[in-house]
Structure 1
Amino acid sequence: MRWDSLFGDMEAQFFADRTLAREAEVAERARVEVAQFELADRLRGALGREVSITLNNGSKEAGSLGRVGADWLVLNTATRQWLIPLHSVSYFENLGRLARKPVNGPALVFPLASALRGLARERQSVEVHVAAGAAGRVLSGVIDRVGKDFLEIAVTGGEARRATAVTAVATVAFRSLLGVRSASRREY
Protein backbone atom coordinates (compact mmCIF):
# COMPACT_ATOMS: atom_id res chain seq x y z
CA MET A 1 0.00 0.00 0.00
CA ARG A 2 1.14 3.56 -0.65
CA TRP A 3 0.64 4.53 3.00
CA ASP A 4 3.03 1.80 4.18
CA SER A 5 5.66 3.20 1.87
CA LEU A 6 4.97 6.76 3.06
CA PHE A 7 5.17 5.82 6.74
CA GLY A 8 8.29 3.73 6.09
CA ASP A 9 9.97 6.73 4.47
CA MET A 10 8.93 8.94 7.38
CA GLU A 11 10.37 6.45 9.91
CA ALA A 12 13.63 6.18 7.99
CA GLN A 13 13.93 9.96 7.84
CA PHE A 14 13.14 10.25 11.58
CA PHE A 15 15.81 7.69 12.50
CA ALA A 16 18.35 9.30 10.15
CA ASP A 17 17.69 12.72 11.74
CA ARG A 18 18.08 11.22 15.24
CA THR A 19 21.34 9.55 14.24
CA LEU A 20 22.71 12.80 12.81
CA ALA A 21 21.67 14.71 15.95
CA ARG A 22 23.32 12.08 18.18
CA GLU A 23 26.53 12.16 16.10
CA ALA A 24 26.60 15.96 16.25
CA GLU A 25 26.13 15.85 20.03
CA VAL A 26 28.95 13.32 20.43
CA ALA A 27 31.25 15.41 18.23
CA GLU A 28 30.44 18.56 20.22
CA ARG A 29 31.09 16.77 23.53
CA ALA A 30 34.44 15.56 22.17
CA ARG A 31 35.37 19.13 21.17
CA VAL A 32 34.42 20.41 24.63
CA GLU A 33 36.44 17.66 26.29
CA VAL A 34 39.53 18.36 24.17
CA ALA A 35 39.22 22.06 24.99
CA GLN A 36 39.73 21.17 28.66
CA PHE A 37 43.12 19.50 28.06
CA GLU A 38 46.38 21.29 28.70
CA LEU A 39 49.68 20.55 26.99
CA ALA A 40 50.90 18.58 30.02
CA ASP A 41 47.80 16.33 29.70
CA ARG A 42 48.72 15.56 26.07
CA LEU A 43 52.29 14.80 27.14
CA ARG A 44 51.13 12.47 29.94
CA GLY A 45 49.19 10.58 27.26
CA ALA A 46 52.47 10.04 25.38
CA LEU A 47 54.66 8.85 28.29
CA GLY A 48 57.12 6.22 27.10
CA ARG A 49 56.49 7.11 23.46
CA GLU A 50 59.25 8.13 21.01
CA VAL A 51 58.71 11.80 20.19
CA SER A 52 60.55 14.65 18.51
CA ILE A 53 60.79 18.05 20.15
CA THR A 54 61.73 21.28 18.41
CA LEU A 55 62.97 23.91 20.84
CA ASN A 56 62.41 27.65 20.47
CA ASN A 57 65.93 28.10 19.06
CA GLY A 58 65.16 25.63 16.25
CA SER A 59 67.22 22.72 17.60
CA LYS A 60 65.55 19.34 17.51
CA GLU A 61 65.80 16.44 19.97
CA ALA A 62 64.28 12.98 19.73
CA GLY A 63 63.77 10.38 22.41
CA SER A 64 61.22 8.79 24.68
CA LEU A 65 59.09 10.90 26.95
CA GLY A 66 60.11 9.94 30.49
CA ARG A 67 58.32 12.22 32.96
CA VAL A 68 55.98 15.19 32.88
CA GLY A 69 55.75 17.77 35.65
CA ALA A 70 53.60 20.83 36.05
CA ASP A 71 55.61 22.85 33.52
CA TRP A 72 58.47 20.59 32.43
CA LEU A 73 59.27 17.22 30.89
CA VAL A 74 62.13 14.72 30.81
CA LEU A 75 63.21 13.44 27.41
CA ASN A 76 65.37 10.29 27.34
CA THR A 77 67.63 10.34 24.31
CA ALA A 78 69.99 7.54 23.27
CA THR A 79 72.86 8.92 25.33
CA ARG A 80 71.51 11.49 27.78
CA GLN A 81 68.49 12.91 29.51
CA TRP A 82 66.97 16.35 29.08
CA LEU A 83 64.93 18.35 31.58
CA ILE A 84 63.02 20.76 29.34
CA PRO A 85 60.67 23.57 30.42
CA LEU A 86 57.44 23.42 28.43
CA HIS A 87 57.77 27.10 27.52
CA SER A 88 61.00 26.24 25.64
CA VAL A 89 59.28 23.94 23.15
CA SER A 90 57.98 25.28 19.84
CA TYR A 91 56.30 22.02 18.86
CA PHE A 92 56.14 18.27 19.36
CA GLU A 93 55.88 15.49 16.78
CA ASN A 94 54.46 11.98 17.25
CA LEU A 95 52.58 12.55 20.50
CA GLY A 96 49.77 10.26 19.41
CA ARG A 97 46.12 10.92 20.17
CA LEU A 98 45.90 10.22 23.92
CA ALA A 99 45.64 12.76 26.72
CA ARG A 100 45.58 12.05 30.45
CA LYS A 101 44.56 14.30 33.27
CA PRO A 102 46.90 14.00 36.26
CA VAL A 103 46.00 11.89 39.21
CA ASN A 104 46.31 13.76 42.47
CA GLY A 105 49.98 13.69 43.23
CA PRO A 106 53.31 15.45 43.06
CA ALA A 107 53.07 16.33 39.34
CA LEU A 108 50.40 18.89 40.20
CA VAL A 109 52.67 20.73 42.65
CA PHE A 110 56.08 19.82 41.24
CA PRO A 111 57.08 22.85 39.15
CA LEU A 112 60.29 23.42 37.18
CA ALA A 113 62.02 25.13 40.11
CA SER A 114 61.51 22.02 42.27
CA ALA A 115 62.91 19.71 39.59
CA LEU A 116 65.96 21.96 39.22
CA ARG A 117 66.43 22.07 43.00
CA GLY A 118 66.59 18.27 42.93
CA LEU A 119 69.43 18.46 40.40
CA ALA A 120 71.19 21.11 42.50
CA ARG A 121 70.89 18.91 45.59
CA GLU A 122 72.46 15.97 43.73
CA ARG A 123 75.40 18.16 42.59
CA GLN A 124 75.38 16.49 39.18
CA SER A 125 77.37 17.96 36.32
CA VAL A 126 74.94 19.28 33.73
CA GLU A 127 74.80 21.30 30.55
CA VAL A 128 72.45 24.26 30.78
CA HIS A 129 71.22 25.30 27.33
CA VAL A 130 70.29 28.97 27.19
CA ALA A 131 68.56 31.00 24.49
CA ALA A 132 71.20 33.58 23.56
CA GLY A 133 71.17 34.68 19.94
CA ALA A 134 70.41 32.34 17.07
CA ALA A 135 72.56 29.42 18.22
CA GLY A 136 72.06 29.75 21.96
CA ARG A 137 74.72 28.98 24.53
CA VAL A 138 75.71 25.93 26.57
CA LEU A 139 76.98 26.36 30.13
CA SER A 140 78.66 23.25 31.58
CA GLY A 141 78.90 22.91 35.32
CA VAL A 142 76.88 22.31 38.47
CA ILE A 143 73.65 24.02 39.46
CA ASP A 144 74.42 25.82 42.73
CA ARG A 145 71.14 27.53 43.58
CA VAL A 146 67.61 27.75 42.27
CA GLY A 147 65.27 30.64 42.97
CA LYS A 148 61.65 31.15 42.03
CA ASP A 149 62.41 32.13 38.44
CA PHE A 150 66.16 31.66 37.99
CA LEU A 151 69.02 29.24 38.52
CA GLU A 152 72.70 29.80 39.21
CA ILE A 153 75.25 27.49 37.62
CA ALA A 154 78.89 27.25 38.61
CA VAL A 155 80.52 27.05 35.19
CA THR A 156 83.31 24.48 35.31
CA GLY A 157 83.69 23.51 31.67
CA GLY A 158 82.67 19.95 32.47
CA GLU A 159 85.07 19.37 35.38
CA ALA A 160 84.02 18.44 38.90
CA ARG A 161 82.69 21.27 41.07
CA ARG A 162 85.77 22.53 42.92
CA ALA A 163 86.54 26.14 43.73
CA THR A 164 89.58 26.04 41.45
CA ALA A 165 87.54 24.68 38.53
CA VAL A 166 84.82 27.36 38.64
CA THR A 167 85.44 29.93 35.90
CA ALA A 168 82.19 31.85 36.43
CA VAL A 169 78.84 31.73 38.18
CA ALA A 170 76.03 32.40 35.70
CA THR A 171 72.51 33.38 36.68
CA VAL A 172 69.95 32.15 34.15
CA ALA A 173 66.36 33.38 34.06
CA PHE A 174 63.89 30.54 33.52
CA ARG A 175 62.36 32.40 30.57
CA SER A 176 65.65 31.98 28.64
CA LEU A 177 66.26 28.38 29.74
CA LEU A 178 65.95 25.95 26.80
CA GLY A 179 66.80 22.85 28.80
CA VAL A 180 69.18 21.07 31.14
CA ARG A 181 70.98 18.04 29.76
CA SER A 182 72.78 15.43 31.80
CA ALA A 183 76.53 15.68 31.23
CA SER A 184 76.83 11.90 31.04
CA ARG A 185 74.65 8.81 30.88
CA ARG A 186 73.63 9.39 34.52
CA GLU A 187 69.91 9.63 34.89
CA TYR A 188 67.88 12.37 36.53
Structure 2
Amino acid sequence: MRWDSLFDDLAGQLDDELAVDDDAVRIEAERLRRGRLMLRERLVALCGDADAPGPLVVELVDGTTWRLRVRSIGKDWLQADSGTPGGREVVVPLDAIAAIAMTQTQIDWSLDDVAVREPRLLDRLTVSFLLRDLCRRRAAVIVRTRTGSWTGTVDRVGRDHLDLAVHEPGSPRRSRSIEQIRVIVLAEVVVVERAA
Protein backbone atom coordinates (compact mmCIF):
# COMPACT_ATOMS: atom_id res chain seq x y z
CA MET A 1 0.00 0.00 0.00
CA ARG A 2 2.77 2.44 0.90
CA TRP A 3 4.62 1.60 -2.33
CA ASP A 4 1.57 2.48 -4.39
CA SER A 5 1.27 5.91 -2.80
CA LEU A 6 5.03 6.50 -3.27
CA PHE A 7 4.80 5.62 -6.96
CA ASP A 8 1.71 7.80 -7.35
CA ASP A 9 3.53 10.68 -5.67
CA LEU A 10 6.60 10.25 -7.92
CA ALA A 11 4.39 10.07 -11.02
CA GLY A 12 2.61 13.26 -9.97
CA GLN A 13 5.94 15.06 -9.41
CA LEU A 14 7.19 13.92 -12.83
CA ASP A 15 3.98 15.13 -14.52
CA ASP A 16 4.33 18.52 -12.79
CA GLU A 17 7.97 18.87 -13.88
CA LEU A 18 7.13 17.89 -17.47
CA ALA A 19 4.29 20.43 -17.54
CA VAL A 20 6.67 23.15 -16.27
CA ASP A 21 9.22 22.14 -18.94
CA ASP A 22 6.51 22.24 -21.65
CA ASP A 23 5.42 25.71 -20.50
CA ALA A 24 9.02 26.93 -20.53
CA VAL A 25 9.53 25.58 -24.05
CA ARG A 26 6.30 27.26 -25.25
CA ILE A 27 7.26 30.56 -23.62
CA GLU A 28 10.74 30.48 -25.16
CA ALA A 29 9.35 29.57 -28.60
CA GLU A 30 6.93 32.52 -28.39
CA ARG A 31 9.75 34.84 -27.30
CA LEU A 32 11.81 33.72 -30.32
CA ARG A 33 8.85 34.15 -32.71
CA ARG A 34 8.20 37.69 -31.48
CA GLY A 35 11.90 38.49 -31.70
CA ARG A 36 11.85 37.66 -35.41
CA LEU A 37 8.79 39.77 -36.23
CA MET A 38 9.24 42.57 -38.75
CA LEU A 39 7.18 45.78 -38.65
CA ARG A 40 5.54 44.77 -41.94
CA GLU A 41 4.28 41.51 -40.39
CA ARG A 42 2.80 43.37 -37.44
CA LEU A 43 1.06 45.80 -39.78
CA VAL A 44 -0.30 42.93 -41.90
CA ALA A 45 -1.93 41.53 -38.75
CA LEU A 46 -3.74 44.86 -38.31
CA CYS A 47 -4.72 45.28 -41.95
CA GLY A 48 -7.77 44.32 -43.92
CA ASP A 49 -9.86 42.78 -41.13
CA ALA A 50 -13.19 44.49 -40.49
CA ASP A 51 -12.78 43.71 -36.78
CA ALA A 52 -9.27 45.20 -36.63
CA PRO A 53 -8.95 47.86 -33.95
CA GLY A 54 -9.19 51.47 -35.22
CA PRO A 55 -6.78 53.65 -37.16
CA LEU A 56 -3.09 53.84 -36.38
CA VAL A 57 -1.26 56.98 -35.29
CA VAL A 58 1.87 56.94 -37.44
CA GLU A 59 4.85 59.25 -36.95
CA LEU A 60 6.90 59.67 -40.11
CA VAL A 61 10.60 60.48 -40.52
CA ASP A 62 9.78 64.08 -41.49
CA GLY A 63 8.26 64.64 -38.03
CA THR A 64 4.62 64.66 -39.15
CA THR A 65 2.00 62.49 -37.51
CA TRP A 66 -0.80 60.88 -39.52
CA ARG A 67 -3.90 59.01 -38.42
CA LEU A 68 -4.12 56.15 -40.93
CA ARG A 69 -6.56 53.34 -41.55
CA VAL A 70 -4.38 50.78 -43.34
CA ARG A 71 -6.08 49.17 -46.34
CA SER A 72 -3.31 47.13 -47.95
CA ILE A 73 0.38 46.40 -47.58
CA GLY A 74 2.90 45.62 -50.28
CA LYS A 75 6.49 44.54 -50.04
CA ASP A 76 7.81 47.89 -48.84
CA TRP A 77 4.78 50.19 -48.59
CA LEU A 78 1.34 50.56 -47.11
CA GLN A 79 -1.77 52.12 -48.61
CA ALA A 80 -4.17 53.83 -46.23
CA ASP A 81 -6.94 56.36 -45.88
CA SER A 82 -5.63 59.49 -44.24
CA GLY A 83 -7.28 61.26 -41.35
CA THR A 84 -7.47 64.46 -43.40
CA PRO A 85 -10.86 65.85 -44.45
CA GLY A 86 -12.18 63.65 -47.23
CA GLY A 87 -9.95 60.75 -46.11
CA ARG A 88 -7.59 60.87 -49.09
CA GLU A 89 -5.68 57.79 -50.11
CA VAL A 90 -2.01 57.82 -49.24
CA VAL A 91 0.93 55.55 -49.91
CA VAL A 92 3.66 55.43 -47.27
CA PRO A 93 6.96 53.62 -47.83
CA LEU A 94 7.63 51.46 -44.76
CA ASP A 95 11.10 53.03 -44.46
CA ALA A 96 9.40 56.42 -43.91
CA ILE A 97 7.77 55.23 -40.66
CA ALA A 98 9.62 56.44 -37.57
CA ALA A 99 7.15 55.19 -34.94
CA ILE A 100 3.58 54.02 -34.44
CA ALA A 101 1.51 54.84 -31.36
CA MET A 102 -0.72 51.83 -30.70
CA THR A 103 -3.39 51.01 -28.18
CA GLN A 104 -2.98 47.86 -26.10
CA THR A 105 -5.58 46.15 -28.30
CA GLN A 106 -3.60 47.03 -31.44
CA ILE A 107 -0.41 45.74 -29.80
CA ASP A 108 -2.12 42.45 -28.95
CA TRP A 109 -3.48 42.10 -32.51
CA SER A 110 -0.11 42.90 -34.06
CA LEU A 111 1.65 40.27 -31.94
CA ASP A 112 -0.91 37.53 -32.56
CA ASP A 113 0.47 34.32 -33.95
CA VAL A 114 -1.21 34.61 -37.33
CA ALA A 115 -1.55 31.40 -39.28
CA VAL A 116 0.78 31.21 -42.27
CA ARG A 117 -1.14 32.36 -45.31
CA GLU A 118 -0.50 31.85 -48.96
CA PRO A 119 1.76 34.53 -50.43
CA ARG A 120 -0.15 37.04 -52.52
CA LEU A 121 0.98 39.06 -55.52
CA LEU A 122 0.57 42.20 -53.40
CA ASP A 123 3.29 40.92 -51.04
CA ARG A 124 5.83 41.17 -53.86
CA LEU A 125 4.86 44.57 -55.29
CA THR A 126 7.30 47.37 -54.49
CA VAL A 127 6.56 51.06 -54.06
CA SER A 128 8.10 51.80 -57.47
CA PHE A 129 5.59 49.41 -59.11
CA LEU A 130 2.74 51.21 -57.35
CA LEU A 131 4.08 54.62 -58.43
CA ARG A 132 4.34 53.40 -62.03
CA ASP A 133 0.61 52.65 -61.88
CA LEU A 134 -0.07 56.24 -60.73
CA CYS A 135 2.13 57.40 -63.61
CA ARG A 136 0.12 55.38 -66.16
CA ARG A 137 -3.14 56.80 -64.78
CA ARG A 138 -1.74 60.36 -64.95
CA ALA A 139 -3.10 60.89 -61.44
CA ALA A 140 -2.43 64.19 -59.71
CA VAL A 141 -0.47 63.59 -56.52
CA ILE A 142 1.19 65.39 -53.65
CA VAL A 143 4.66 63.96 -53.04
CA ARG A 144 5.96 64.70 -49.55
CA THR A 145 9.65 64.21 -48.83
CA ARG A 146 11.80 64.90 -45.79
CA THR A 147 12.46 68.42 -47.12
CA GLY A 148 9.16 69.56 -48.61
CA SER A 149 6.12 68.69 -50.70
CA TRP A 150 5.19 69.18 -54.34
CA THR A 151 1.97 68.75 -56.28
CA GLY A 152 2.03 67.41 -59.79
CA THR A 153 1.89 64.38 -62.02
CA VAL A 154 4.35 61.49 -62.00
CA ASP A 155 5.99 61.40 -65.43
CA ARG A 156 8.19 58.35 -64.96
CA VAL A 157 9.49 56.05 -62.26
CA GLY A 158 12.96 54.54 -62.27
CA ARG A 159 14.35 51.94 -59.95
CA ASP A 160 15.33 54.46 -57.27
CA HIS A 161 13.72 57.75 -58.32
CA LEU A 162 10.68 59.36 -59.90
CA ASP A 163 10.18 62.36 -62.17
CA LEU A 164 7.41 64.67 -60.96
CA ALA A 165 6.01 67.31 -63.31
CA VAL A 166 5.27 70.05 -60.77
CA HIS A 167 2.16 72.13 -61.52
CA GLU A 168 -0.63 73.95 -59.70
CA PRO A 169 -2.95 71.74 -57.62
CA GLY A 170 -6.18 71.01 -59.45
CA SER A 171 -4.83 71.87 -62.88
CA PRO A 172 -4.17 69.19 -65.50
CA ARG A 173 -0.64 68.43 -66.60
CA ARG A 174 0.03 70.67 -69.59
CA SER A 175 3.45 71.65 -70.93
CA ARG A 176 2.76 75.35 -70.39
CA SER A 177 1.64 74.84 -66.77
CA ILE A 178 4.71 72.84 -65.64
CA GLU A 179 6.87 74.83 -63.24
CA GLN A 180 9.66 72.23 -63.15
CA ILE A 181 10.38 68.55 -63.52
CA ARG A 182 11.58 67.42 -60.11
CA VAL A 183 13.62 64.20 -59.93
CA ILE A 184 12.97 62.78 -56.47
CA VAL A 185 14.96 59.93 -54.92
CA LEU A 186 12.51 57.26 -53.70
CA ALA A 187 14.42 56.88 -50.43
CA GLU A 188 13.42 60.47 -49.60
CA VAL A 189 9.68 59.98 -50.27
CA VAL A 190 7.65 60.04 -47.06
CA VAL A 191 4.07 60.11 -48.39
CA VAL A 192 2.42 60.08 -51.79
CA GLU A 193 -1.11 61.44 -51.50
CA ARG A 194 -3.78 61.52 -54.20
CA ALA A 195 -4.53 65.17 -54.90
CA ALA A 196 -8.16 66.26 -54.89
> So what's the TM-score if we normalise by structure 2?
0.82
Write out per-residue CA displacement over residues 100-122 of structure 1, whole angstroms, 9 at most, x where no aligned residue: 55633312331111000011111
SS at match of 2:183: strand
- SS of 2:177's equivalent in the other structure is coil
Contact 2:62 2:145 survives alignment (8 Å) = no
1:58, distance to aligned residue in structure 2 (A): 1.7
Q: Alignment identity in percent?
A: 25
User: What is the 5 A alignment of 1:1-12?
Assistant: 6-12=6-12
What is the RMSD computed on CA atoms of the aligned residues?
A: 2.1
Please give the per-residue CA displacement for 1:25-67, whole angstroms capped at 9, x wherever unaligned. 1122223333444322222111134212110122111121111
Q: Are 2:26 and 1:26 aligned?
A: yes
Q: 1:120 aligns with which of 123, 132, 135?
A: 135
Of 30-39 and 105-114, deviating more is 30-39
1:48-101 CA-to-partner distances (Å, cap 9, x unmatched) read 342121101221111211110000001112421110000000122334334655
Measure the CA separation in 2 of the matches of 1:168 and 1:10: 83
Alpha-carbon offset, residue 6 of structure 1:
4.5
More helix by share: 2
| Alpha carbons 2:164, 2:182 under 8 Å: kept | yes
**Unaligned 5+ runs, structure 2:** none
For the structure 1 residues 76 and 155, does the alpha-carbon distance in structure 2 shift closer, same or farther, using more than 3 Å as the test? same
Q: Flag structure 1 segments of 5+ consecutive residues without an equivalent.
A: none
- In 2, Cα distance between the equivalents of 1:27 and 1:127? 46
Q: Say which is worse superposed, 83-92 or 35-44, in terms of deviation.
A: 35-44
CA distance in 2, matches of 1:154, 1:140: 8
Quote the Cα distance in structure 1 between the aligned partners of 2:101 and 2:181.
35
Identify the residue that residue 124 of structure 2 maps to in structure 1.
109
Letter in structure 2 aligned against 1:167: E
Deviation, 1:166, is 0.8
Cα distance in 2 between the residues matched to 1:75 and 1:104: 21
Instruction: Say whether 1:179 aligns with 2:191.
Output: yes
Q: What SS does structure 2 have at the residue aligned with 1:23?
A: helix
CA distance in 2, matches of 1:99, 1:118: 33
CA contact (8 A) 2:73 2:123 kept: no
Q: Distance in 1 between matches of 2:166 and 2:44?
A: 33
TM-score, normalized by length of structure 1? 0.85
Residues 126, 141 of structure 1: 8 Å contact kept: yes
> Equivalents in 2 of 1:105, 1:47: separation in Å?
14
Q: How far apart are 1:5 and its partner, in Å?
A: 5.6
Q: How many residues align?
A: 180
| Residue of structure 2 in register with 1:142 after alignment | 153
Partner of 1:63: 68
Which amino acid in the other structure matches residue 18 of structure 2? R
